[in-house]
Structure 1
Amino acid sequence: MNTSERLGYGKEEKLLIVNADDLGLAKAANDGVFDLLEEGAVSSATIMMNCPWSAEAAERIASMPDVDIGVHWTLTSEWPHYRWGPLVRNRASATLTGKDGWFPQTPEETERRADPEEVRGELIAQTEAALAAGIALTHADNHMGSLYGIVSGKDLLHVAYDVCAKYGLPFRLPRKLIPVGGRQIPPEVQERAKRRAREAEDRGIVLPDYITGPEYRLLPGESYDDVKAEGIGLLRALLPGVTEWISHPARVTDELRSFHLHPEKRGMEIRFWRDPDVQSVLREEQIRMIGWKELKQLQDSLRI
Structure 2
Amino acid sequence: MTRRVVITADDLGREPGSTEVILSLLAEGHVSATTLICVSPVAEHAAQRVRKLGVVPRLHVTLTSERGVPRWRPLNGAASLVDPDGTLSDDPLALGARGEAEDVIGEAEAQLSWMRDRGAAPEAADSHAGTLYGLHGRSWLAETLEWCARHGLAFRLPRDPEPYFGGPLPPQLAAAHEKAVAFADALGVSIPRTIATNRRTASELGGYERLRDDYLRRLAALPEGTSEVFLHPSREDAITGPDGIVRTWETRLLRDPVWHDALDSEGIEVVGGWWPAREGTG
- Structures share fold, TM-score greater than 0.5: yes
Give every structure 1 segment of 4 or more consecutive aligned residues whose post-TM-superposition deviation is greater than 3 Å: 179-184
**What residue is the counterpart of 1:272 in the other structure?**
253
1:86-235 superposed matches below 5 A: 86-89=74-77, 93-152=78-137, 154-180=138-164, 182-215=166-199, 217-220=201-204, 222-235=206-219
2:68 touches 2:239 (CA, 8 Å); kept in 1? no
Does residue 1:54 correspond to 2:35, yes or no? no
- 1:266-286 Cα deviation digits (max 9, x unpaired): 111111011111111111111
Q: Distance in 2 between matches of 1:14 and 1:242?
A: 6
Deviation at 1:296? 5.0
Identity %: 30
Quote the offset at 1:216 in angstroms.
Answer: 6.1
The partner residue of 1:256 within 225, 239, 242 is 239
Distance 1:248 1:117, change over 3 A: same
Residue 21 of structure 1 aligns to a residue whose secondary structure is strand
1:82 to 70, 73, 81: 70
User: 190-199 vs 209-218, which deviates more?
Assistant: 209-218
2:223 alignment partner, one of 239, 244, 252 = 239
Shift of 1:221: 6.2
1:83 deviates by: 0.8
* Distance in 1 (alpha carbons) for counterparts of 2:275 and 2:13: 23
Does the CA contact (< 8 Å) of 1:20 and 1:42 recur in 2? Answer: yes
- Indicate conservation of the 8 Å contact 1:61/1:135, yes or no: no
Counterpart of 2:33?
44
Match of 1:5 in 2: none
Distance in 2 separating the partners of 1:159 and 1:191: 17
Deviations 1:208-244 (A, max 9, x none): 0101111264235621111111111111111112111
**Alignment RMSD:** 2.0
CA apart distance, 1:60: 0.6
Q: Identify the residue that residue 297 of structure 1 maps to in structure 2.
A: 277
Distance (Å, rounded) in 1 between the aligned partners of 2:117 and 2:242: 33
5+ long unaligned stretches in structure 1: 1-9
Once the 2 structures are TM-superposed, how far is the Cα of residue 165 of structure 1 from its aligned partner? 1.8
For the Cα contact (< 8 Å) 1:43–1:68, is it kept in 2?
no
1:271–1:48 distance in 2 versus 1, CA, 3 Å:
same
Judging changes above 3 Å, is the alpha-carbon distance between structure 1 residues 262 and 238 closer, same or farther for their aligned structure 2 residues? same
Return the alpha-carbon distance in structure 2 between the equivalents of residues 216 and 250 of structure 1.
16
Q: Which residue of 2 aligns with 1:3?
A: none
TM-score by length of 2: 0.93
Structure-2 change in CA distance of 1:199 and 1:181 (3 Å): closer
What residue identity is the alignment partner of 1:295? W
One-letter code aligned to 1:101: G
Q: Decide whether aligned partners of structure 1 residues 149 and 221 sit closer, same or farther in structure 2, where only a CA change above 3 A counts.
A: closer
Paired residue type of 1:274: R
| Structure 2 unaligned residues grouped into runs of 5+ | none
The code of the aligned residue for 1:236 comes to: A
CA contact (8 A) 1:169 1:296 kept: no
Within 1, Cα distance between the matches of 2:193 and 2:255?
A: 25
Q: Name the counterpart of 2:22.
A: 33
Matched, 1:71 2:54: no
